[in-house]
Amino acid sequence: MSEDIRAGEIAVTLPDTFDAGIYFIGRIRTPWTRREDCPKNARGSDAVCTVEVDERYAAALEGVTTCTHLVLLYFMDRARRDLLVQSPRHGERRGTFALRSPVRPNPIAMSVVRLMRVDGTRLTVVGLDCLDGTPLIDIKPYFPSVDSVPDAVVGERTKTSP
């Protein structure tokens, strides 16, 4: 895939083997079936999405209804994994670890969602921007005491930034 690289981008040769394995524990249902239709960021979307948890893990949902918000981890299984520096079409060149792009060595996305309803193993949520069918890998309760930093800043890079 390295032929698809844009000017200024840097790719890496990934290791030959993985260090650990993950299970897909469900699927995320969203209105978006093509990457270009996905909202540019989750804040821009009030779309109601559905998280379908596999029956195997149903018992792990006990108590989830006490949470107003959840952290979802999911696997961007259609993203390449070898880019270390990216030049987004609308944005400045940045290292992958300074971007929320799905393209990264481990294409695991993290989204904070508002939990609207739980029906058995189906969770209705707001706050996602991923493709329909995206594999789910974890659900966690969101604790503002450790997860919320309202005054955090992601700055613009300037000529003097490293």
Contacts (CB under 8 A) with a second copy, residues 29-68: 41-43, 53, 56-68
- 95 contacts a second copy (rule: CB under 8 A): yes
- 75 contacts a second copy (rule: CB under 8 A): yes
Near a second copy by CB under 8 A: residue from 48, 118, 132, 133: 118
User: Are 87 and 151 within 8 A, CB to CB?
Assistant: no
Listed residue (132, 158, 111, 106) closest to 50, CA to CA: 132
User: In the range 120-139, which residues lie near a second copy by CB under 8 A?
Assistant: 127, 135, 137-139
CB closer to a second copy out of 48 and 99: 99
Burial 52-80 (b: 16+ CB within 10 A, else e): bbeeeeeeeeeeeeebebbbbebbbeeeb
CB closer to a second copy out of 13 and 34: 13
